[in-house]
Amino acid sequence: MSAACDVDKLREIVFHPLPPDQIERALDLLADIAGLQVNQTGPQTLQIAYCITDHTLQDVETLLGLQGFHLEATLLIHLKRALVYYCEHVQRENLHKPEVQTKKYKPHMAAWGKNPHGDHDETPAEWRQYK
């Protein structure tokens, strides 16, 4: 079972310098979303805190992109985003309970072993050996 600290995330979103009023508009937009805490940490950065079961960084940045915000697009930031997106996606998948297995596999294996299923080669041994 995951501890509470495993699912609570603290991420930083870096905006492009242009247009200049993006940070204030993003603060207003993101402050209205339940389960999301937003603080300005720099002239072009916001820090967001959220629970992974409710939100992901990809969802938040996609929302910002759809609203017309311009995020910083340097190579290093792209790599960081891709890593965070992947890690959060995997973590969300791992938080779900596995499906209960309904089949009993031993009878299926026994039946499979009794029937010929095409794994026999009728080719003579001298034809299979290359010299």
Answer yes or no: pTM beyond 0.85. no
Instruction: Report cis status (omega within 30 of 0) of the bond before 19.
Output: yes
Domain boundaries along the sequence of the chain: 4-95
Half-sphere exposure of 45 (CA within 13 A, CB side): 7
Instruction: Report the CATH architecture of 4-95.
Output: 2-Layer Sandwich (3.30)
The predicted structure's pLDDT at residue 1: 45
3-state class (DSSP) for residue 129: coil
**pLDDT by 10s per residue, the chain, length 131:** 455 558 999 999 999 999 889 999 999 999 999 999 999 999 999 999 999 989 999 999 999 999 999 999 999 999 999 999 999 999 998 888 666 566 666 776 777 777 766 666 677 777 777 66
CB atoms within 10 A of CB 14: 17
Q: What is the Cα–Cα distance from 131 to 128, expressed in whole angstroms?
A: 10
Half-sphere exposure of 92 (CA within 13 A, CB side): 16
The predicted structure's pLDDT at residue 60: 96
